[in-house]
Structure 1
Amino acid sequence: MVLLCATGPGTLARAGAPGGIPDPSGLGIQLLEAPASRRDDPRALRYIVDHLAPGSTIKRKIKVVNHSTERSRVELYAAGADIAENQFQFADGRTANELTEWISLSKDRVTLDPKESVELTATVQVPPKASAGEQYAVIWAATVPAGKPRTNVTIVRRVGIRVYLDVGPGGEPRSDFAIGEVVPARDPAGQPSVTVTVRNTGGRALDMGGSATLSDGPGGVRAGPFDVVEGTTLPVGGTGVVRMLFPADLSNGPWRITLDLVSGKVKQSATGTITFPDPGGTGRRTLLDRLDQDRWLWASALAAVVIALCCVVLLVRRRRRRAVEAAVPTVGARTGR
C-alpha cells in the first residue's frame, strides 16, 4: 500500500487566539498557551519553543478542530524533525528521534464531528541525563481514512505544531543573526527580487521573516513594505538566504532599500542602495549599512537626559533670580522715615 502524506508547516494560529485556521484537509491545530517569559515572542505563540535543564518537565495545551463537513477520525502523535538545507524538515510518518521519546500526549486518537474541537495536553519530560543541544520534533494531528481502502493508495493528511527544544544547564543560549550581501535580480519574465545572505550568530535555530521597503526611487517614489518569502530556517552556525519579491512594473532604480529582518524577538535592520538589472539579469552584490537599533535607543535616551538637565538648570536659575529679587529692598522701603 502506498501512503501519501500532505504535511503542513506547523500551527497557523497564535497561542490563545480563538479557533484554529483550517488546513485544506479540514483539520486545524492550535497552540493554546506559551510561557509567561515568551508571550512577546511570536515564534513561541506559534510553536513550542523552550529551553529546559535536564530533568525538567513542561506542559502545553493544544486544540484540534475539524473544519470539514464530515465526521473525522484523528490520530495524535509526535514525530521527529530536523533542519537541513536551511529548511525545517519533517521525518516520514511516525519516525522517532530522541526528543519524541520525551513527548507524551493526553490523547492519541479522537473522533470529531463537523466543526467539533478537542483540547489535549502535550507533556515534554526531559531525562536527567539528556543530551545537551537543540532538538526538533512535530506534534501531529492526522486524519484516519474510514473503512477499508478501495485502492492501494491511502491519502493521509496532517497538520502539526513544531517543537524547538534546547536542553542544557543554566540560561538559554542567546539568539542573534547578521545580515550579509544583498543581490538584486530579475527573472526572464521581468519580476524583480532581492536575496539576502543571513548568518545565524546565536545559539538557537532561527525562522526568518521580515520585510523590505524601497525609497528614494526615480522621482522620489517609495514602495513597500514587501514581506520575506517564508521557509528559511537557519540552524545554529548556519548561513542561508531570504528572498523578497517585488512587482514586475517596478523600475530598475536606483533605490534605497531598508531591510527589517526578524526571527521571534530578534530583529536586525540594514539599509543601502541597489539597482535592479534588466530581465534575466543579476545586479551588483551589495553590503548594506546596519541600522543599530540599540544605538538609536541610547541616542534617544541621551537626548532625553540632556533635555531634562537643561530644564533643571533653567528652574534653578529662575529660583535664584527670584530669591535675589526678594532680598533687595525697594526704594520706598529705604525712605519710609
Structure 2
Amino acid sequence: MSEKTNIYEIAQELGISTTTVSRAISGKGRLSEATRQRVLEYIASRNLDPCVRKRKYTDKKTGNILVTIPAEKDYALLPYFMEILSSVYDYCVIRGFQVMMAKTGANDIDALKTIISKHKVDGVVLTRTITDALDIKFLKERGVPFVAIGSYDDKTVSQVDVDQMSGCRDLTSILLRMGIRKIALFCADRTHVVTKSRLKGFLQAYEDNDLDFDPQMIFDGAGEVFKAEQLTEEMLKKGVECILCMDDNICINVLNTLRKNGVRVPQDIRIASFYNSQVLNEYYPPISCVDFDIKELGTMAARVLLEALDGEEKAGKITMGYNVILKESTK
C-alpha cells in the first residue's frame, strides 16, 4: 500500500521547491527531464502517494473586478447598465480595486471565459440573469466568486434584486382599479429572468382583481425601434386604452412613435413603464412607473462581492424595495 505524504515533505527531502515537485508530478510547466525523473524515482522508490493540493481560483489576487454587460446591439448603452457599471466602479475603486468590463450574450460568453482563464480578475458582477445562464454555470464550475444582479433559481448563487414582481403587480392593479381594461403589454426578451418576474406580477394583478387577461395582448420584440413603432401603430388602430412597457427603452420607443403620429398622452392613450430611468424622467408628460434605486442596487452587488472576497460569502438573495409613482401619463 502506498504511503500518504504531501509534496512539502518530498520537496524538503530533495532540497527543491514544492512548485518543482508539483510540476514533476503533473507533467505541466517548465522543468528539466532530469529533475522530473529524480522526483518520480524518489516517489516510486519509497512507494509514496503524494497529495497535490488543487489550486483554487481565489488563491491568486489581482485587485481587479469584472462587470459584464449585454453584448446585444445597443443594450450596453441603456442607462440602467451604465448606472450599474458606474456604481460598482465607485464602490470598488475607493477600496483599492480596479474595474474591468466585458460584453456577454445569452449564447456567447467568450469574453468572460478569456478573462477568467487568464485570471485577470478576482470576482465578477453579472448585471442581468438569463434562464439557464451559461455565465453562471461557467463561473460556478471555475470556482470564481460572483454576484448576480437579478434573480436566479439557484440558492447557492449570491443575488441582489428588486422585488420586480410586486412592483409590477402593484402598478398594474392601480391601472385596473382606475377602470382601464384594454391594456397591451410590450416586452423585449422573455428569456431574461427580470422580464419573467415582471410578467408574473402583471398577470398576478389580474388574478387579484378577478379579471381575465387576453394573452394575445402581450407583444415581444418592442426593444427594437422598428418593432415598437409597428406594434404601437397597431394598438392605436385597435383602440387600446393603455400600453404598459416592460422597461424604459421600450417606453421611449413607444413615446417617440406616438409623438411622430401626433397622438396625445394621456388624452388619446395612457402609457406606463415597469422601470423608470433618468432618460425617461426627461419626457413629457411625466410617465407613471415602478421606480427603484439603481445606484443602490449596483453598490449592494459590489459590497456583497467584496465581502465574499474577504471570506464573508453568504449565498442567497438580497431583495430591495421599490416605489410605484403615478404621473400624468395615466390620468
TM > 0.5 fold call: no
Greater relative contact order (Cα < 8 A, sep 6+): 2
Q: Which has the higher helix share?
A: 2
* TM bracket, shorter-chain basis: under 0.3
More strand by share: 1
Larger Rg: 1
Provide the TM-score with structure 2 as the length reference: 0.21
Query: TM-score with structure 1 length normalisation?
Result: 0.21
